[in-house]
Amino acid sequence: MAIAPVIEVEELVKEYRGPLRIEGPLGGLRTLLTRRHVTRRAVDGVSFSLGAGELVGYLGPNGAGKSTTIKTLTGILRPTSGRVRVAGLVPWRERERHARNIGVVFGQRTQLWWDLPLRDSLELVGRLYGVERARHRANSAHLTELLGLGPFLDTPVRQLSLGQRMRGDLAAAMLPEPRILFLDEPTIGLDVVARERIREFIATRNRQDGTTIVLTTHDLDDVERLCRRIVLIDEGRVLYDGDVARLKERYAPHRRLVVQLADGGDWRGLDVPGVERDPDPDRGAEARAVTLRFDPARVQVAEVVAAVLARHAVTDLSLIEPGLEGVVHGIYAAREAPA
């Protein structure tokens, strides 16, 4: 028997009704005063499902409808139409039971009590969720260690740095041991060290506890590091749903080999079919570097390297895999280009 998905979204539609936006002189003021309203479709027939223990990147450009989807899945918003089940519950109808299954972190705002020390915020979360005392103590201690909260547990939340606050938010979300975690931009504005710590935490929770995680982010390094699967949306519709690796193969099949020629070396070409010199090498400014582009389905890396070494004196070689950033931008650009 097939295992039921933990998250099921079918033909989700969410429309917002708002005043008609008026352009031109005093447009802002006229928009405020107008009585004319329009309906805008923020999510336009999104469907996907997630199995237990999956970690999926939910991506899209600004205004694509990511937050609207997450707010519907967390029970904050009621959709215009469509069917949603999260752990078997309809989020906006069975809010209390649903809240016990999920943890939510919105990077842009905190769920902690601004004026209270972090320790008290965690205490309150434990009480609100009815976490039994011994479990609360054990979970708090565990999360404090994993997220390195010790040095600022007694600091009021308002005095925490963004990275510290985010770690506090993650601890609060995980304290009641939710099966499902929604993370909306959890690394936004953080420095490299803080970002890495949060990524490590997310990966560990997913791997060790099997927590199902939906991650929304504009930082594609988060996705490269954490997600095998992405759901890419734009203008409220799903553009792609599947493996990150397959997405790259489909949209960026080429690899690049950067060849650093020895002093005095000249590029005399290479006669291997399927290998081209990159017309616009990113490393053009670098002395004596030549970038070759090839499709590994047609010609193997080893073959290209052997051919280069046979003809040229080389000081270094490096292989560049396509980054998700370029692939995703390429998809958006293709969509925007006139037909």
Ligand X SMILES: Nc1ncnc2c1ncn2[C@@H]1O[C@H](COP(=O)(O)OP(=O)(O)OP(=O)(O)O)[C@@H](O)[C@H]1O
Using the contact rule CB under 6 A, the part of the chain among 2-10, 58-66, 263-271, 296-304 near ligand X is 58-66
Specify the residue, 72 or 164, whose C-beta has the smaller distance to ligand X. 72
- Are the beta carbons of 187 and 219 closer than 8 angstroms? yes
Which of 6, 55, 66, 194 binds ligand X (CB under 6 A)? It is 66
Which of 62, 130, 263, 287 binds ligand X (CB under 6 A)? It is 62
Q: Please choose, from the candidates 58, 106, 11, 35, the residue with its C-alpha nearest in 3D space to the C-alpha of residue 217.
A: 58
Beta strands in 280-336 (DSSP E): 289-294, 314-320
User: Positive or negative CA dihedral for 127, 132, 137, 140?
Assistant: negative
Nearest distance in Å: CB 204, ligand X: 26
CA–CA separation, 299 and 77 (whole Å): 51
- Are the beta carbons of 312 and 264 closer than 8 angstroms? no
Which of 5, 6, 57, 67 binds ligand X (CB under 6 A)? It is 67
Which of 57, 65, 107, 178 binds ligand X (CB under 6 A)? It is 65
Nearest distance in Å: CB 207, ligand X: 27
312 binds ligand X (CB under 6 A): no
Nearest distance in Å: CB 193, ligand X: 25
Mutual angle of helices 118-128 and 133-147, in 10-degree steps: 140
Specify the residue, 62 or 208, whose C-beta has the smaller distance to ligand X. 62
Specify the residue, 85 or 218, whose C-beta has the smaller distance to ligand X. 218
Specify the residue, 153 or 239, whose C-beta has the smaller distance to ligand X. 239
Nearest distance in Å: CB 221, ligand X: 16
16 binds ligand X (CB under 6 A): yes
290 binds ligand X (CB under 6 A): no
CA–CA separation, 319 and 258 (whole Å): 6
110 binds ligand X (CB under 6 A): no
How many residues are recorded in the chain? 339
Specify the residue, 61 or 163, whose C-beta has the smaller distance to ligand X. 61
Q: Which residues pair with 10 in a beta bridge?
A: 83
Taking residue 94's Cβ as centre, other Cβ atoms within 10 Å add up to 16
Q: Please choose, from the candidates 291, 299, 282, 297, the residue with its C-alpha nearest in 3D space to the C-alpha of residue 318.
A: 291
Please count the residues of this chain forming the interface with ligand X, following the rule CB under 6 A. 12
Q: How close are the terminal C-alpha atoms of the chain, in Å?
A: 45
- Eight-class DSSP state of 156: B
User: Positive or negative CA dihedral for 99, 101, 104, 110?
Assistant: positive
42 binds ligand X (CB under 6 A): yes
Which of 5, 12, 68, 205 binds ligand X (CB under 6 A)? It is 68
Which of 18, 150, 253, 330 binds ligand X (CB under 6 A)? It is 18
79 binds ligand X (CB under 6 A): no
63 binds ligand X (CB under 6 A): yes
Q: Is 323 helix (H, G, I), strand (E, B) or coil?
A: coil
Q: Which residues bind ligand X (CB under 6 A)?
A: 16, 18, 40, 42, 60, 62-68
